[in-house]
A = this chain, B = another copy of it.
Amino acid sequence: MPGPPGLSATRAPGNPLLTPEDVAPSRPDFEVIGVFNPAVLVDDGETALLLRVAERPRDIPTEEVAAPVYDLAAGRIVVRRWRRGATGVRTDDPRAVIAGGETHLTSISHLRWARSRDGLQFQVEAQPALEAAGETDAFGVEDPRATRLGGEWWINYTAVSPWGIATAAAVTRDRRRLERRGIWFAPPNRDVTPFPEAIDGRYAALHRPMPEGLGAAAIWFASSADLGSWGGHRPVAGPRPGAWDGAKVGGGAPPFRVRDGWLALYHGVDAGARYAIGALLLAAREPWRVIARSREPVLAPEAPYEREGFFGNVVFTCGAAVAGDRVRVYYGAADTVVAAADLSLDAILGGLA
């Protein structure tokens, strides 16, 4: 029997590959507090990462609290400010401010390109590639995934707003210019990973609705004729109480084809809020059917940059580069930095049950 597959992960010697210090803020009054959870696009000898960059307003007096938000009337991101302790202003959760019954977030994320020839040393672009620009992403855009379909890369990302957390699509041909294509799944949804080819004539994706009240955070399957409208919803996999993925699960890297079906790296959260990465083997023609699943994580938080940060004890992947037996996973660590680790495909498959 193989040992725990988590042991076979080889972290990049340069980890973390990118930190907030490597990223210029998008405007002088903002500071970067996290760079993490990148989409991965490999083509023409280039590895492009589409980074999630989280920023917050800087130089806010300690007696105030600030929240960046896209203002529809102004047509740009503005910074709203409130005095802490004022009537109707609640700041118990440092990530949010509730004012006049409305919730705002104290940071905002955009997407930004970084590029590399060797897949390990990245140049980060100076400006955002996609940022809050409307009613349904007024609180920012997060956690992109990229899937190549024909000559296009389809990006799906999280669009956060007072309407909730939806998932939206964008497309790029040149791995530079992103064209928005609207919402794919209404709130509350996240973690959308399209498959890289049509299956029985329909495009396919995993998605992660977030039931309220009844039901747990589980991975679902959906299909589409046109990459615009989605149907054929079927549940795929839920949390396994007591296990490493006992509290929540959600898609990670877009699925890729292996001999016996589709391999989907996913994230699992345990009862202690530890985020780890495992794998699902899905049936080739019925990708909503789970053939096998990682007994233990293939990657779990161990390194200091994974255990400590804005949200510690988190490894979270949105994309991988697969070459032969090597699965190079790019991942966000502690919601603060970007890291990479090489896994053996054989070891991942050997750890399924």
**Which A residues are within 8 Å of any B CB, using their own CB?**
101, 103, 135-136, 139, 160-166, 182-189, 207, 209-216, 218, 220, 222-226, 228-235, 238, 241
Contacts and interface: CB of A to CB of B under 8 A. Distances in A.
Contacts of A165: 211, 213-215
Given A182-B231, A228-B231, A212 B188 contact: yes
Contact of A215 (B135, B187, B234, B238): B187
Contacts of A210: 188, 212-213
Nearest to A168: B233
A242 to B, nearest CB: 9
A233 B162 contact: no
A97 to B, nearest CB: 13
A28 to B, nearest CB: 28
A220 B186 contact: yes
Contacts of A226: 225, 229, 231
Contacts of A220: 186
Contact of A164 (B136, B139, B211): B211
A181 B229 CA distance: 16
Contacts of A139: 214
A164 B219 CA distance: 12
Contact of A163 (B163, B186, B218): B218
A233 B160 contact: no
Given A231-B229, A231-B230, A186 B207 contact: yes
B209 A187 contact: yes
A184 B183 CA distance: 15
Given A218-B163, A241-B101, A211 B231 contact: no
B211 A163 contact: yes
Nearest to A136: B235
Q: Which 6 A-B pairs have the closest CB atoms?
A: A164-B215, A164-B211, A229-B231, A229-B229, A183-B233, A212-B212
A225 B229 contact: yes
A167 to B, nearest CB: 10
Most buried by B among A135, A163, A166, A216: A163
A297 B222 CA distance: 38
Given A187-B209, A220-B186, A222-B186, A162 B231 contact: no
A214 B214 CA distance: 17
Contacts of A234: 136, 183
Contacts of A225: 225-226, 229
A240 B212 CA distance: 21
A164 B209 contact: yes
A273 to B, nearest CB: 15
Contacts of A182: 231-233
Given A188-B188, A231-B229, A235-B136, A212 B211 contact: yes
B229 A224 contact: yes
